[in-house]
Structure 1
Amino acid sequence: MNRLPTEKRAQILQMLCEGSSMRSISRVADVSLNTVTKLLADAGNACAAFHDATVRNVKSQRIQCDEIWSFAYAKAKNVASAKAAPIGSGDVWTWTAIDADSKLILTWLVGDRDASAASDFIADLKPRLANRVQLTTDGHKAYLHAVSQEFGPDGVDYGMLVKLYGSDPQPQKRYSPAKLIGIDKDLILGSPDVEHISTSYVERQNLTMRMSMRRFTRLTNAFSKKVENHYHALSLYFVWYNFVRSHKSLKGSTPAMAAGLVSSPLEMADIVTLIDQREGPAKKRGPYKKREISAQIAD
C-alpha cells in the first residue's frame, strides 16, 4: 500500500480544516479526489478515537450547548424525490458542548434534533466532566428531560436561554431571520448564576465551524453527499479546533492546553501519526507475474 509523504497528508488535512473544497484540494495538492476522500475518512476515524479517549476528566465551570443545522445529499423535504439518495440523507444536526473559559469542545453528536439525540448527547457529556458545572442550553425542549435524566435534580446548575422573536413588518425574505425582541433566562435546576446563562461562546463556535468547513457553507453545492463523510469532517475539525488551532482569546494557546489536557499544541503531522498508528505499518504490494495477470484476465 502506497502512502503519501507525511508533509503532503498534513497539507491536505490542513486545507480540509481551513475551508477548502475536496476538489480544490485535489488540484492544489496534485492528488486524486479518491485520495483526499480516503484520507478524510482515515483521519476522521483516528480523530474520533483520539478525542473520545483524551477529552476526559475536564475541570470546567460553565458549559454551553447548542445545535447547528446542515444536510447530507439533499434537504429533508427533497429526499423523497431525490435520485438514489443514500441512507442518512436529509437534515443533519450537529450538537456541541463548549467550555466557556477554555473554549474546549467537550463533546459533539451528529444526528437529528429530537429527544433521543438530546439524551445521547447529554449522556456523553456528563462522564467527561470532573466536577459540578453550570450548564446553559437554548430553548430546545428536548434538553429538559435529557439534562434532568442524566444529572438528576441536584447534579448540575442548569439554566435555559430562550430567545423571543417577533414578526418582521417587511415581507418575508429567504434566509432572513426574524427580529429578536427579547431574551428569557429560565432557572431549571440547581442554582445557576443568571449573569452566566448565555450561549454566546457556543454560537460563536458554530460560526467558526461554518467558516472552517466548506460543507457547512450555505447556498452552494459543497454540502456533504454522504453523512459518513460529514461525520469524518467533523471528527477532524474538532481535534484541529481543540488541539491544533491557537486562539487569540487564549493568548495563542489551544483549548486543550487551557483545559489542562495537553502541555503543548499538536501539529497536523501528529494527526497523520494517529492515522498511521491506527492502520499499522504499510503493507507492500506483492509482485504479480505475467502468467498470474493473464489468468486473471482469462477468468
Structure 2
Amino acid sequence: MVSMNKLDAQARSGILHMLCEGQSIRSITRIMGTSKNTVAKLLSDAGAICAQYQDETLRNLTSKRVQVDEIWSFTYAKQKNVATAKAAPEGAGDTWTWTAIDADTKLVMSWLVGGRDSEYAMGFMDDLSRRLANRVQLTSDGHRAYLEAVQGAFGGDIDYAMLIKLYGASPDSAKGRYSPAECTGANKERIEGNPNIKHVSTSFAERQNLTMRMHMRRFTRLTNGFSKKVEAHANAVALHFMDYNFVRIHATLRMTPAMAAGVTGKLWEIGDIVALIEAKEAEKPMVRGTYKKRS
C-alpha cells in the first residue's frame, strides 16, 4: 500500500480522475494499490480546495437564464433508519444537494449540501444572488421553500417562474416497486417580474442531476457506495463540479462551461487540480505566538 505522503502528482491525478469518473474508493484502492484512507484523504483535500477555488472564482457572472433544482441522496443511513442505526454521526439521513446551472453556458455556479427546508433554500438563494452581476430569469420546480428564499435574496430584481409538474401512476408501476411516477403535464407559473414563458424550464438542471448520479459513486442508487459522513459527501460534490466546470468539455458547447462563461481562458486538466493541492501544501503555517505584519 502507498501512503498519502508518497503519492506523486501522477498518482494523485490518476486517483482524482477515477473519482470524477464515478469509481468507488474501494475499487480505486485495488487499482492503484493505495490504502482506503489515502484515497479518502486525497478526496478531502481536493474537495476543500475545489470548493474554495470555485467560491472565489465564480463571481460577477453575467448569466441570463438560471435553473435550480435539488437532488436526493443519503448519508450513513436512510432517514427512516437513522433512529435505530448504530453510532449514526451528525448529518446522517437524507442529504439534498441544491444546484444552480446557467442554461446557456451550462456552468454550475452555486450548490449547497444539506437539508431541503426553508433555511437551506434561503442560504442557497443568498449565495446564488451574490454570484450574479445582473438581473436573470430564474426557473425552479414547485418546491414551496423557493418562494420566500427567492424573495429574500433578490426582492423584485428578478424574473422568476415555477415549473410545477403533475404526476400520475405509471402504467409500468406494477412491474416493480422502483418504477417512477409518470409526468402527465406541467404548469408554468409566473412568480416575480416578467419571465419569458418560452424559457421556463428545468431541463438542464435535471440533466445535471443525471450527470451527478453517473459521475459520483455515492449518488448511485441501490449500492453500498453512499457517503458515511456529510463532509465527505460535500467534498465529492465540490470535486465533481470542479471537473465538470473546468475540465470536462461539454459535448454541445465544445468547450468547458467555465470557458463558455468567461471564467477561465484555458482548458484545465486534472493535473491543474493537483497543482492547487500542492500549492496549498507548500504554504507554511505560522508558528504559534508569532506576529505577521500587515502589508
Q: Tell me by how many angstroms 1:76 deviates.
A: 0.4
The correspondence for 2:5, drawn from 2, 7, 11, is 2
The correspondence for 1:191, drawn from 181, 191, 194, is 194
Query: Which residue number corresponds to residue 109 of structure 1?
Result: 112
Q: Secondary structure at the match of 2:189?
A: strand
User: 2: CA distance between counterparts of 1:27 and 1:197?
Assistant: 46
Query: Which residue number corresponds to residue 266 of structure 1?
Result: 268
Residues 109-128 of structure 1 mapped to structure 2, 5 A cutoff: 109-128=112-131
Corresponding letter in the other structure for 2:244: Y
User: 2: CA distance between counterparts of 1:14 and 1:174?
Assistant: 35
Query: Which residue number corresponds to residue 225 of structure 1?
Result: 228
Q: Tell me by how many angstroms 1:38 deviates.
A: 0.4
Corresponding letter in the other structure for 1:224: S
- Any unmatched runs of 5+ in structure 2? 286-295
**Paired residues of 2:170 and 2:179 also in contact (CA < 8 A):** no
Residues 131-170 of structure 1 mapped to structure 2, 5 A cutoff: 131-153=134-156, 155-168=157-170
The correspondence for 1:72, drawn from 56, 72, 75, is 75
Q: Tell me by how many angstroms 1:281 deviates.
A: 5.8
User: 1: CA distance between counterparts of 2:113 and 2:226?
Assistant: 15
Q: Tell me by how many angstroms 1:266 deviates.
A: 1.0
Query: Which residue number corresponds to residue 177 of structure 2?
Result: 174
Q: Secondary structure at the match of 1:79?
A: helix
Q: Tell me by how many angstroms 1:225 deviates.
A: 1.1
The correspondence for 1:216, drawn from 195, 200, 219, is 219
Identity of aligned residues (%): 60
Task: Show structure 1 runs of 4+ deviating over 6 A.
Answer: none
Query: Is the radius of gyration larger for structure 1 or structure 2?
Result: 1
- Any unmatched runs of 5+ in structure 1? 284-299
Query: Which residue number corresponds to residue 294 of structure 1?
Result: none
Q: Tell me by how many angstroms 1:184 deviates.
A: 0.1
**1:48 paired to 2:64:** no
Q: Tell me by how many angstroms 1:167 deviates.
A: 3.4
Q: Deviations over 1:31-68 (max 9, x none)?
A: 11111010000001110100100111111110000000
Q: Secondary structure at the match of 1:71?
A: strand
The normalised TM-score by structure 1 is: 0.91
User: 1: CA distance between counterparts of 2:83 and 2:10?
Assistant: 43
Corresponding letter in the other structure for 2:135: R
The normalised TM-score by structure 2 is: 0.92
**Paired residues of 1:66 and 1:96 also in contact (CA < 8 A):** yes
User: 2: CA distance between counterparts of 1:282 and 1:250?
Assistant: 40
Q: Tell me by how many angstroms 1:110 deviates.
A: 0.3
Query: Which residue number corresponds to residue 290 of structure 2?
Result: none
Q: Deviations over 1:153-175 (max 9, x none)?
A: 2x000010000112346548422
User: 2: CA distance between counterparts of 1:188 and 1:45?
Assistant: 36
Corresponding letter in the other structure for 1:194: I
User: 2: CA distance between counterparts of 1:64 and 1:281?
Assistant: 38
Query: Which residue number corresponds to residue 239 of structure 1?
Result: 242
User: 1: CA distance between counterparts of 2:160 and 2:5?
Assistant: 51
Q: Deviations over 1:75-99 (max 9, x none)?
A: 0000001111111110000000000
User: 2: CA distance between counterparts of 1:174 and 1:257?
Assistant: 42
Q: Secondary structure at the match of 1:116?
A: helix
Q: Tell me by how many angstroms 1:226 deviates.
A: 1.1
Q: Deviations over 1:173-201 (max 9, x none)?
A: 42222121110000000000001000000
Corresponding letter in the other structure for 2:165: K
The correspondence for 2:257, drawn from 248, 255, 258, is 255
Query: Which residue number corresponds to residue 292 of structure 1?
Result: none
Corresponding letter in the other structure for 2:184: I
Query: Which residue number corresponds to residue 278 of structure 2?
Result: 276
Aligned-residue Cα RMSD (Å) equals 1.5
**1:157–1:281 Cα change, 3 Å:** closer
Q: Secondary structure at the match of 2:185?
A: strand
User: 2: CA distance between counterparts of 1:237 and 1:103?
Assistant: 14
Corresponding letter in the other structure for 2:56: A
**1:85 paired to 2:93:** no
User: 2: CA distance between counterparts of 1:232 and 1:172?
Assistant: 37
